[in-house]
Amino acid sequence: MAHPVQGNLWVGFSGGLDSTVLLHLLATCRVPVRALHIHHGLSESADRWVDHCRAFAQELEVPFTLKRVVVDKRDGGLEQGARLARYLAFDQVLSSGDQILLGHHGDDQAETFLLRLLRGAGVLGLAGMAEWRSIGGGKSLLRPLLKVGRADLEIWARDHGLSWIDDESNTDESLDRNFLRRRILPLLSVQWSVRQRISRAVDNLRESAELLRELALTDLESCGLRAERFGESLDLSLFSALSMTRRKNLLRHWILQQGGLAPESTVLQEAISQVDSAALDAQLEVQLGRRVVRRFKGRLYLTSRLKTVPADGEKGVSWDGVSRLSLSAGGVLEPAVGWSSAEYQVSYRRGGERAHPADRDRSQTLKKLLQERGLEPWLRDRVPLVFLKGELVAVAGLFSCKANRATPDPPPGWRFFD
């Protein structure tokens, strides 16, 4: 694999056979690596696994990093949630230029391929397990053992007297993967060299998947993709002019690009039908896993899910006007040039407020002003309102209010993220 290492080389070290062999192989070849173990907090044995992994790394004189994560079951179940949390953790621990090596081997690839096939996956799913992929921010993920079979890893491990963690659940044949591994693959292997053939099919499918990705990127661009205060948007009429297949392809890749999980084809189709059929003025909101599709002013938005505005956020927090403030409803408030230090209060809209923007003759209801300024409806309860002695003096990111020397235009900046 021609991917030069610029930063650190990590091994995703679970303590299982595959990553144990991988780490051992690299360390004994004197490749400078670091071991990264993710603690999912799911199994009662997890703490013992940490001890085992740390001791093994120490024996190899490999630096060991432990990262604890919280698994969200809403991300497609426990297993999928753990996977997502793990990949997020990889991203957090790695720096730009770093690479992480995972222990997936040829048998894993064959199992994954068949499992996905039996679940009805498309090209993207079937081509899923790549030898190399970028995880953004100049970091990448590698699977150097994909062409090696599990039996060879076991031979290596036994020859070198390595011990590894065998998950108790690996023998439970009611689990699809175990059933395939223990019953079906040995049978198929009597007739065919399954691992090699599936590996070839995956390589072919990856080319098709790459074409679909390129098409999606071209379509995203021609639909006027643009970064928004929160998420991204594209032109709805240009999007709607594409065929259903291309719209699904675009939406799938758009979600992937934002770091989400590709939804099932039927789910995508349903979401697009909802976008098509909703009345133009209706507030549309379709949940796709951790992403949300919305519509506003002729544009289609893709954002992450909003957390609810905490009740205490409404009471207001104090702010000195000159430093950055993290907001309970998400994002930060950033000081603006010319603002003097004072005892400001920051809170959110409750309804009924009026404001007098510096560039207007008269005051107006805040509701109307937010509409006029084109703030997306889903952000209107989250826009920070800045008060001085009980009087509204600025709406962050939008305008300062008239006749208040302490708060000239521009207003404090507002960067929103959830």
Region from 8-16, 258-266, 295-303, 377-385 binding ligand ATP, contact rule CB under 6 A: 8-16
Coil, helix or strand at residue 25: helix
DSSP-derived secondary structure letter, 168:
G
Q: Which stretch binds ligand ATP (CB under 6 A): 33-41, 184-192, 300-308, 338-346?
A: 33-41
**Which residue's Cβ has the minimum distance to ligand ATP?**
103
> Considering only CA atoms, which of 403, 353, 339, 406 is closest in space to residue 383?
353
Residue of 12, 122, 125, 260 that binds ligand ATP (CB under 6 A)? 12
Handedness of CA 281, 287, 288, 294 (dihedral sign): positive
Q: Specify whether the CB–CB gap between 256 and 262 falls below 8 A.
A: yes
The yes or no reply on residue 19 touching ligand ATP (CB under 6 A) is: yes
- Please indicate if the annotation marks 15 as binding a ligand: yes
220 labelled ligand-binding: no
Contact between 103 and ligand ATP per CB under 6 A: yes
Q: How many residues does the chain have?
A: 418
Decide: 158 and 24 in contact? Cβ < 8 Å.
no
Nearest to 108 by CA among 43, 178, 166, 156: 178
What part of residues 58-97 is at the interface with ligand ATP (CB under 6 A)? 83, 86
Q: Is the dihedral of CA 335, 340, 342, 347 positive or negative?
A: negative
Does position 106 interact with ligand ATP (CB under 6 A)? The reply is no
Q: Are 332 and 340 in contact (CB under 8 A)?
A: no
- Counting residues that bind ligand ATP (by CB under 6 A) gives 15
Residues 6+ apart with CB under 8 A from 215: 246, 249
Complex with ligand ATP: residue 37 or 356, whichever CB lies closer: 37
Cβ–Cβ under 8 Å, residues 23 and 13: yes
Choose between 93 and 292: whose C-beta lies nearer to ligand ATP.
93
Least Cβ distance, residue 268 to ligand ATP (angstroms) = 22
Tell me if 146 is assigned to a ligand binding site. no
**Is there a binding annotation on residue 18?**
yes
Nearer CB in complex with ligand ATP: 41/298 = 41
Comparing CB distances to ligand ATP, the nearer of 80 and 363 is 80
313 annotated to a ligand binding site: no
User: Annotated binding residues for ATP, as ranges?
Assistant: 14-19
Residues within the interface to ligand ATP (CB under 6 A): 12-14, 16, 18-19, 36-38, 83, 86, 102-104, 108
